[in-house]
A and B are shown apart, each in its own frame.
Chain A
Amino acid sequence: MNKITDRTIKQINSERRKFLDMLSKAGVSAGVLRASTIAGGMMFNRFAEAATNDKKFILLFHPNGAPRGYTSSIAMNPLKPFGNTVAALTMSIGKPGNHGNLQQATGADSYNGSDARSSSIDQQVAKILGNNTPKRSIQLGVQSGTQEGINRLNGANVTRIDSPATALQQVFSGTTTGSSSSSSSGSTSGPTAIERKLAVVDANKQGLDAIRNKLGYDERFRLDAHLDTITQLENRLKSQVSTGSSSGGTSSGGSTGGSCSKPTVASSKSALAEYRMQGDIAVAALACGITNVVSIQFNETQASWLPGDGTADAVPFNADHHQVNHGGQALNLLPAVCEYMNKGVANIIDKLQKAGIYNNTVVLCVSEMGDGVNHTPDAGPIIVASGISGLRGGFRTPNSDHYGVFPDVFKLLGIQGSAGLGSYGNGGIVT
Chain B
Amino acid sequence: MQSMPTNNPSKCTTTDNCAANTVAYMLSLASQVAASCNTSVQPYGMRALRLLTSRELKNSLIDLGIAQSSELTDDLFTQDATYTKSKFPIHTHVTTAIDDNRNDAMMLLADKISTTAASRLRNSWGCGTNATNCANSFLTLAERIFRRPLTDAEKSTYNGFFTKYGAQVGSEIALAAAITSPQFLYRSELGTKVSDARNNSSNFGTQLNLQNLDQSAYILDNYEYATLLAYMYTGSTPDQTLMQAAKNNQLNSESAVNSQIDRLLQTTRGREHLTEFGANWMRTDDVLKAVRSANPEFTDDVKNDMAKEVRELFGYVFFTSNTPFTQFYGGDYSVINSRLAQYYGVSGFSGGTSDWKATNIANRGGILGTGAFSVGNSQPDRSGPIKKAVDIRELMLCHHIGAPPTDLNTTSKRAELVKQAQQREDVTGDLTTREYYEIITNDPACDSCHQTRINPLFGIDDIDHLGKFRTTMRGLGPNGQYNLPVNNFGELIGLESIDDPASLTFQGSKDLGKKMANLSSVSECLAVNSFRWATGMPLNHNSYSTLEGGQDNEPAKLTKNQEESFACAEKSLVDTYAANNSSARSLYRKIGTLDLVRVRKPIDSSQVKQ
Contact = CB atoms under 8 A, between A and B. Distances in A.
Interface of A: 92, 94, 96-101, 111, 135-137, 139, 146-148, 153, 156-163, 165-166, 169-170, 173-174, 181-184, 186-187, 190-191, 196-197, 199-200, 203-204, 206-208, 210-211, 214-216, 218-223, 225-226, 229-230, 232-233, 269, 301-302, 306, 308, 310, 318-320, 323, 325-329, 373-378
B78 interface: yes
B101 A186 contact: no
A200 B180 contact: yes
Given A98-B406, A182-B112, A182-B115, A222 B551 contact: no
Contacts of A96: 17
A203 B157 contact: yes
Contacts of A220: 93
Given A169-B76, A173-B108, A174-B111, A229 B422 contact: no
A200 B176 contact: yes
B381 A218 contact: no
Nearest to B108: A173
Contacts of A373: 409
Given A147-B547, A183-B116, A328-B418, A156 B79 contact: no
A148 B172 CA distance: 35
Interface of B: 15-17, 47, 49, 74-82, 87, 89, 93-105, 107-108, 110-116, 151, 153-154, 157-158, 161, 165, 168-169, 172-173, 176-177, 180-183, 186, 188, 190, 291, 293, 379-381, 403, 406-410, 418-419, 421-422, 426, 547-549, 551, 553, 602-605, 608, 610
Given A183-B116, A183-B172, A196-B173, A223 B81 contact: no
B112 A161 contact: no
B17 A97 contact: yes
Contact of B381 (A97, A173, A222, A318): A318
A137 B75 CA distance: 19
B169 A170 contact: no
Q: From A101, A182, A196, A221, name the one whose CB has the most chain B CB atoms within 10 angstroms.
A: A221
Contacts of B81: 146, 148, 157, 159
B381 A156 contact: no
A243 B553 CA distance: 45
A158 B75 contact: no
Given A196-B173, A199-B173, A223 B93 contact: yes
A66 to B, nearest CB: 14
Contacts of A187: 169
Contact of B177 (A199, A225, A318): A199
Contacts of A156: 95, 97, 99
Contacts of A98: 16-17, 406, 549
Contacts of A374: 407, 409-410
B541 to A, nearest CB: 20
A146 B406 contact: no
A200 B110 contact: yes
Contact of A376 (B16, B95, B158, B603): B16
A318 B181 contact: no
Give 6 closest A-B pairs by Cβ, nearest first. A183-B115, A222-B97, A166-B75, A100-B549, A318-B381, A99-B549
Contacts of A219: 47, 602-603
A390 to B, nearest CB: 30
Contacts of B79: 146, 159-162
B602 A160 contact: no
A197 B82 CA distance: 31
B100 A232 contact: yes
B182 A191 contact: no
Given A100-B551, A187-B169, A230-B103, A222 B182 contact: no
B145 to A, nearest CB: 11
B97 A223 contact: yes
A313 to B, nearest CB: 15
A135 B99 CA distance: 12
16 contacts: A135-B104, A146-B79, A161-B79, A163-B74, A166-B74, A184-B111, A200-B173, A206-B157, A211-B186, A214-B190, A221-B95, A301-B549, A306-B380, A373-B409, A375-B406, A378-B15
A114 to B, nearest CB: 14
B74 A204 contact: no
Contacts of A181: 111
Nearest to B608: A221
A216 B98 CA distance: 19
A166 B108 CA distance: 11
Contacts of B108: 169-170, 173-174
A230 B251 CA distance: 36
Given A183-B112, A374-B409, A222 B95 contact: yes
Q: Determine which residue in A163, A183, A210, A214 has the highest number of CB atoms from chain B within 10 A of its CB, and name it.
A: A183
B381 A160 contact: no
Nearest to B83: A147
A203 B177 contact: yes
Given A196-B173, A229-B98, A301-B548, A210 B181 contact: no
Contact of B99 (A159, A319, A375): A159
B93 A222 contact: yes
B410 A207 contact: no
Nearest to A330: B422
Most chain B CB atoms below 10 A, which of A226, A230, A318, A327:
A226
B406 A190 contact: no
A215 B97 contact: no
Contacts of A200: 107, 110, 173, 176-177, 180
A233 B49 CA distance: 22
A222 B96 contact: yes
A342 B602 CA distance: 48
Indicate the member of B75, B96, B153, B381 with the most A CB atoms within 10 Å: B75
B182 A135 contact: no
B101 A170 contact: yes
Given A111-B610, A229-B99, A318-B380, A211 B115 contact: no
Contacts of B101: 139, 158-161, 170
Contacts of A218: 602, 604-605
Given A204-B182, A207-B182, A221-B93, A269 B165 contact: no
Contacts of B293: 310
A319 B379 contact: yes
Contacts of B610: 111
Nearest to B154: A207
Contacts of A225: 97-99
Given A166-B74, A306-B291, A306-B380, 9 more contacts: A100-B547, A147-B553, A169-B76, A190-B165, A196-B169, A215-B602, A226-B97, A233-B107, A328-B422
Nearest to B183: A207
B543 to A, nearest CB: 17
Nearest to B547: A100
A99 B406 contact: yes
Nearest to B116: A183
Contact of B78 (A148, A159, A173): A159
A225 B172 CA distance: 27
Contacts of A214: 190
B419 A159 contact: no
Given A183-B112, A191-B165, A196-B173, A221 B99 contact: no
Contacts of B105: 166, 170
Nearest to B381: A318
A328 B380 CA distance: 17
A202 to B, nearest CB: 8
Contact of A137 (B100, B113, B380): B100
B49 A211 contact: yes
A329 B422 contact: yes
A24 to B, nearest CB: 22
B104 A329 contact: no
A233 B403 CA distance: 42
Nearest to B609: A111
Contacts of A208: 182
A317 to B, nearest CB: 9
B276 to A, nearest CB: 16
